[in-house]
Amino acid sequence: MSIKNAFYAQSGGVTSVINASACGVIQTARQHPDKIGTVYAGFNGIIGALKEELIDTSLESDAAIAALRHTPAGAFGSCRYKLKSLEQNKAEYERLIEVFKAHNIGYFFYNGGGDSQDTAYKVSQLGDQMGYPMVCVGVPKTVDNDLPITDTCPGFGSVAKYIAVSMREASFDVASMCSTSTKVFVLEVMGRHAGWIAAAGGLAADADNDIPLVILFPEVKFDQAKFLAKIDEKVKKHGYCSVVVSEGVKGADGKFLAEAGGTDAFGHAQLGGAAPVVANIVKEALGYKYHWAVADYLQRAARHIASKTDVDQAYAMGKAAVELAISGRSAVMPTIVRTSDSPYQWHVGHAELKDVANVEKMMPAEFISEDGFGITEACRRYLQPLIMGEDYPPYKNGLPDYVTMKKQMIAKKLAEFSI
């Protein structure tokens, strides 16, 4: 039997460590030339497979692949594109098989969050439903930290660190200004439905840093009167207050505070704008001068302040995906299994893709303080180890020295396919 090639692709919103997973996949595959031939990376995720746009990673040097470990974002391009069910769009599945057959691809590695694991799961069904055997392994990733089963999702720990660091630093700033100027600082963070990133803002305050914080979680319906009372109380006591607002916060009417109108290909509302909404509510009711910021892509691209724990886990997930595949496992995703909070101890496990696809893990009630505006000790114990350690990229001319792939495509063998 000839050695099969592998398809690897990045999907959904990228992170500062998704390329560390790519590095884990490609380096590990290179160590097993007797099991896996060439790793082809999909140009822009699954779209690369559909359009037969396959990047030949064997043309990238070992040094370039190693540098992926410290390079943020998606080196091969990502996509928001969800495969429909086999019944709804058989042509797409037939096309995938055609492309995989044409290039002798027998391994499929898909690096993404819940929606992307759904794609991976659907592809894993191809063997049974369309008679094409495929070893299919998901690689977890999402800054939202909302995949089930795994202790955390690569990408989250680094965003958590960025947000905790930023909130602490901005709070020092406001504290200096508040007697004559700004009294409220609002930072908007990502996390469409789950408040994990917002919770990380809570780490800015600790026993040595008495920072007045208010956190608005998507899991807690926004109550304007209670919120204003909390802000006023903190400003009166400390002179200022810092607010972390999740982009996913919803008002009493069930609508996002930050709904910008429009949806993406996964059907998700385009968010962004909760911070100015919240800051204006404060200004109008209490008259306090404010500053607000939207962390947006800065938070998930911030490789310069990545968590070492997160980088190590992202790499480990890529490596484990290949190891699972060559040991014959399919329709699975490697996971992080926590065995101790302090010292943080974890090992690699795995979950069935059918149990991961489309399931969102929200913040449990015991992680949110009783008043709904803060994190509990249990939440702190969970979050703290995930931001531990620094893994600075190399710097050149005062800037991070990141790598750009050559992205050389293999020759197409098939007719065009439009999506």
| Beta strand 269-271 pairing with 213-216 | unpaired
The verdict on 80 binding ligand F6P (CB under 6 A) reads yes
The verdict on 218 binding ligand F6P (CB under 6 A) reads no
Tell me the C-alpha to C-alpha distance, in Å, between residue 187 and each of 91, 224, 265, 359, 363: 45, 17, 27, 28, 19
**Quick one: tokens of 193?**
């439905």
Q: What is the CA radius of gyration of the chain?
A: 22
Stretch that binds ligand F6P, among 163-171, 187-195, 323-331, 334-342 (CB under 6 A): 187-195
Phi-psi region of 149 (alpha: psi -120 to 50; beta: other; left: phi over 0): left
Q: Pick between residue 52 and residue 144 the one whose CB is nearest to ligand F6P.
A: 144
Q: Pick between residue 113 and residue 372 the one whose CB is nearest to ligand F6P.
A: 113
CB of 313 to ligand F6P, least distance (A): 17
Helix (H, G, I), strand (E, B) or coil at 214: strand
Examine the residue annotation and report whether 144 is marked as an active-site residue of this protein. Answer: yes
**Quick one: tokens of 261?**
């109108």
Q: Pick between residue 79 and residue 320 the one whose CB is nearest to ligand F6P.
A: 79
CB of 233 to ligand F6P, least distance (A): 30
Residue from 18, 68, 75, 190 binding ligand F6P (CB under 6 A): 190
The verdict on 249 binding ligand F6P (CB under 6 A) reads no
Stretch that binds ligand F6P, among 185-193, 345-353, 374-382, 385-393 (CB under 6 A): 185-193
Please report, as a single letter, which amino acid is at residue 387.
Answer: I
Which residue in 115, 118, 144, 146 is the catalytic one? 144
**Rounded to an integer, what distance in angstroms lies between the CA atom of residue 175 and that of residue 159?**
24
Residue from 56, 264, 341, 352 binding ligand F6P (CB under 6 A): 264
> Do 219 and 194 meet the contact criterion of CB atoms below 8 Å apart?
yes
Stretch that binds ligand F6P, among 33-41, 51-59, 142-150, 387-395 (CB under 6 A): 142-150
CB of 8 to ligand F6P, least distance (A): 18
- Name the packing angle between helices 308-326 and 18-30 (round to 10°): 40
Stretch that binds ligand F6P, among 32-40, 189-197, 255-263, 411-419 (CB under 6 A): 189-197
**Rounded to an integer, what distance in angstroms lies between the CA atom of residue 115 and that of residue 358?**
6
**Quick one: tokens of 371?**
């008043």
Stretch that binds ligand F6P, among 17-25, 103-111, 139-147, 200-208 (CB under 6 A): 139-147
The verdict on 144 binding ligand F6P (CB under 6 A) reads yes
CB of 243 to ligand F6P, least distance (A): 18
Phi-psi region of 186 (alpha: psi -120 to 50; beta: other; left: phi over 0): beta
DSSP assignment letter at 265: T
81-120 residues near ligand F6P, rule: CB under 6 A: 113
State yes or no: cis peptide before 33, omega within 30 of 0: no
Applying CB under 6 A, the site for ligand F6P has a residue count of 14
**Rounded to an integer, what distance in angstroms lies between the CA atom of residue 304 and that of residue 105?**
35
Number of Cβ within a 10 Å radius of residue 209: 11
Sheet holding 213-216, edge to edge: 213-216, 241-246, 184-189, 290-294
Residue from 143, 186, 204, 277 binding ligand F6P (CB under 6 A): 143
CB of 71 to ligand F6P, least distance (A): 18
Q: What binding mask, one character per residue, do residues 294-333 give for ligand F6P by CB under 6 A, x or -?
A: ------x---------------------------------
The verdict on 52 binding ligand F6P (CB under 6 A) reads no
Residue from 4, 13, 157, 383 binding ligand F6P (CB under 6 A): 13
**Rounded to an integer, what distance in angstroms lies between the CA atom of residue 48 and that of residue 416?**
12
The verdict on 250 binding ligand F6P (CB under 6 A) reads no
**Quick one: tokens of 343?**
């010292």
DSSP assignment letter at 30: H
Q: Which residues carry out catalysis? A: 144
Q: Which residues lie near ligand F6P (CB under 6 A)?
A: 12-13, 80, 113, 142-144, 190-192, 247, 264, 271, 300
